[in-house]
Amino acid sequence: MKPKLSDVAKEAGVSPTTVSRVINNHGYLSAQTKQNVFDAMEKLHYQPNSLARSLKGKKTRIIGLIFPGITNPFFSELIEKLEKSLFLQGYKVILCNSADDVKKERDYLRMLLANQVDGIITGAHNLGIDEYQNTNLPIISFDRRYADKIPTISSDNLQGGVLATQTLYDAGARHIYFMGNPNQKGNPTDKRLQGYRQQIEALGLGSHVHPIYFDETPMIKQASIRRLLEKGQADGIVCADDLTAILVLQVAAMLKIKVPESLKVIGYDGTDFIRTYFPDLTTIVQPLDDIVMMLVKMLMHRIDNDEQLIDEEDFVLPISLYRGTTI
């Protein structure tokens, strides 16, 4: 059996209380006793049981992370940075892949609650408001609008849409398409399209949206992109994410469409990964480090200050442009 506190106590010849005190560095202990207890712990390979500890009211120091996937470089970088940052604060992370599946997200949310996590950071986006609303747990959301109780961090998607469009225009494109999810569900990312529309209008151009959905396989996206490019009307494309932009470049190469001469392409996200392995791609860069810092900071704040949200309004971080050769 696993050694428990009382085993250590017996081994060290003291009471369980004393051992607990040593572990938690509580109150006054004689150096000798401390040493005895440490030796006993060492000898028995003792590990305190976090469960029992948390049951007694202590925090679990576990944060739940709910995201729609981890293979997209944007999410893998975001999650890796979050994990890193939280680890430094002494937190572990339970990773929940909502996989764009409402049921799975709900299941996970329940599990996290059942496991008494200290807080949740979520970037998933299916659930009805109430499930999240119904808990008093500190929750911070990235790029998703859940409920008034839950602060949202995002980067400036509107400005991103504007900047992408303007950048294409400045480079000479006049038939600028937007490629991404046309559904407007009220999430911050919807603003990329809004920014596009807004700027298109300001420039006196025509607005064209080519729908590409998050849950389509790359093959399907590719076929869809091909249909668009074959028409040969677009000379500029604002892609709602970098991976889509890469598919556009692939299809363009396949169709022998010259980039950027005949077609200019701009992506969105600008992760380290993409900038390193697809340095050609011009893209709107989200400030990942700042996003992570804000998410963690606000979460920590909510955890430490039991008072409800104070001036916790939504927080929008500025984006920037990375210039590759596709424009």
Partner DNA sequence: TTGTAGGCGTTATCAT
Partner DNA sequence: ATGATAACGCCTACAA
Residue 29 is a binding residue for DNA (CB under 7 A): yes
Q: Three-state SS for 152? A: strand
Distance between the two ends of the chain, CA-based, in angstroms? 65
- CB of 166 or CB of 283, closer to a second copy: 283
> Measured in whole angstroms, how far is the alpha carbon of residue 169 from the centre of its chain?
31
- Shortest distance, position 135 Cβ to a second copy, whole Å: 8
Q: Which of 35, 42, 43, 55 binds DNA (CB under 7 A)?
A: 55
Look at phi and psi of residue 91 and say left if phi exceeds 0, alpha if psi is from -120 to 50, else beta: beta
- Shortest distance, position 98 Cβ to a second copy, whole Å: 10
For every residue of 231-258, DSSP letters joined together read: HT--SEEEESSHHHHHHHHHHHHHTT--
The site for a second copy, by CB under 8 A, has a size of: 50
CA angle, 323 as apex, 318 and 327 as ends, to 5°? 120
> Which pair of tokens denotes residue 282?
């011009």
Question: d(Cα 239, Cα 164) in Å, to the nearest integer?
Answer: 9
Residue 3 is a binding residue for a second copy (CB under 8 A): no
- CB of 60 or CB of 326, closer to DNA: 60
Cβ neighbours of residue 250 under 8 Å, at least 6 residues apart? Answer: 222
- CB of 84 or CB of 174, closer to a second copy: 84
- Shortest distance, position 197 Cβ to a second copy, whole Å: 28
Tell me which stretch binds a second copy (CB under 8 A): 7-15, 24-32, 59-67, 162-170.
59-67
Q: Which of 35, 42, 52, 103 binds DNA (CB under 7 A)?
A: 52
Q: Which of 36, 85, 97, 159 binds a second copy (CB under 8 A)?
A: 97
Tell me which stretch binds DNA (CB under 7 A): 26-34, 101-109, 297-305, 312-320.
26-34
Residue 60 is a binding residue for DNA (CB under 7 A): no
Residue 96 is a binding residue for a second copy (CB under 8 A): yes
Can you count the helices (H) and strands (E) in the chain? Answer: 13, 12
CA distances from 171 to 94, 132, 199, 264, 326 (A): 45, 44, 15, 8, 10
Residue 89 is a binding residue for a second copy (CB under 8 A): no
Altogether, the residues listed in the chain come to a count of: 327
Residue 113 is a binding residue for a second copy (CB under 8 A): yes
Question: d(Cα 135, Cα 139) in Å, to the nearest integer?
Answer: 9
Residue 232 is a binding residue for a second copy (CB under 8 A): no
DSSP assigned state of 286 = P
Residues that bind a second copy (CB under 8 A): 45, 47-52, 54-55, 60, 62, 65, 69-71, 73, 76-77, 79-80, 83-84, 87, 92-97, 99, 104, 108, 110-111, 113-116, 134, 218, 243, 246-247, 250, 272-273, 276-279
